[in-house]
Structure 1
């Protein structure tokens, strides 16, 4: 039985371990914190999964596979950790992100419903009555992947299926030639293959020939609508864009959680060790950006806010790269969680079938449709 070492227990690392065990590997996962790790890119109540993908046709074309991979994981876990809300994308000017995304979907024959701003407001009364939109695109599939529950479910499934999981164990060195890792505790682990899926920690390992991976911040704000708007928000869709170039995205209220507001234009390179404070100024800027989008947003109550970090690779593409018997796996760039289960199956395929490695790497990078 081949042995695999996985460094990092975010969704990418845990899903890869899942894929490898399904292919008969013995797996050890090493994580520097707990699972879920609150400082990891994967950790939060939930993450958005949606069909709209701007001009990245290679990724939009794989979303059907991504949903199917999650379904396969739910079967193994014996439970379902996705809440379907549907997703809207709003175009306010020709050539903006949502407009481009809809052209991409049309080119791939992926169904989505278009409606006018008036039709959208009538159907979704939480929207601002004066919503400025050329059109609103809607898909009934998509919504919230319950991130921390998925990480916990994968951890428990891996343990039950023979994986060794070492938490609170920081990896300090990786030897691709000897297929060995060293930890801060002085322990060495060896295997037939080492997979570096360390997220924001990956740049610190100086993986030979690795592309530049840039730690990037993302501040999100959780808000509650006033009581008189609670009914309007029942059954509301999540959203991936509200037109223009602000990159507004978020998740509707689900499972007792308030709605989650994101503002992509504030995502900038930063230091994960010092940049995690969500300032009052940034919180106000995010909430203010939703004026004209949601009805009476100025009356919403901020319940919490946080700044997470993720890594961005060149062209925001996923990275699967070999050096000796080590593999660098960086499937993030701000859009990785929705592909988490599929990334695990992809990486396991590339590792178990070395002749297909380059093909899988291109596919994961969105270069093959």
Structure 2
């Protein structure tokens, strides 16, 4: 198999973690007889520095023509004063919209080796953590109308949260399809007691559920969901929600599993094109210090092999290699525990590479 992968190193620790993921992908390709062609493209703060735009048109076109996109992280305080249309994060929003990446998949799984790093009590962890957040990615408040205006002598800001029935239907189908391969349970998260968009969300999700009689559907308000993720995460299997709620809940879910540094994510279109990235952000405070955790990026690459390329055994090989590194007690600083061995970003990549 030959695949072309657009690579966005991005900002902060992006280059460090992506470098390790590419080494893993190259080794996997060699072992299984594939060819991965990597093409670097600019996006985020580094693109602003080099060409004045957070997402140059050339970068967008390369991503569109690729089989998949691997992203490190974008953003940082250096670009806080950029206008809203040219902030590093705007590059991500534009990529999602232009590539049709409407479905974000974020697993929340407690790896047994990282149990001590979780902030939750043992009695909660004993029940296990293994669920997936399915987040709608190109609708809601992040893509609604945004304005600041003068009304009666003072500034008033407005952000519109807009959803169409077809948008909700598309993401709901993704969640139900995933649930069919797991425990056949979907919990849809909304704020239907307050928001009109949530009332439509609930109506459409219930309509979609009729086509999945083997999957159990229930609803939960977002504030309760935030509490339940900390109180009893074992109750969740597939958690379906809109864009902003999903953004918040998925970060919360990542922390209870021990560290945000090991959580991968996939943003998918209706076809096979996907954008894969860790969820930890650019961490400019440790950039260039070899302290970053590359596992989230490496596991994102593993998700890419499975979901976009259909290479299941190759994906599983990478996952096993990560597990072996953790089993041997190697840890980066964000997940360090007593009795383990502290390593840097590159050394963690070396250790995982040995298992590949």
Q: Pick the TM interval, shorter chain.
A: under 0.3
Higher relative contact order (CA closer than 8 Å, sequence separation 6+): 1
TM-score of the superposition, structure 1-length normalised? 0.26
**Structure with the largest fraction of strand:** 1
TM-score of the superposition, structure 2-length normalised? 0.27
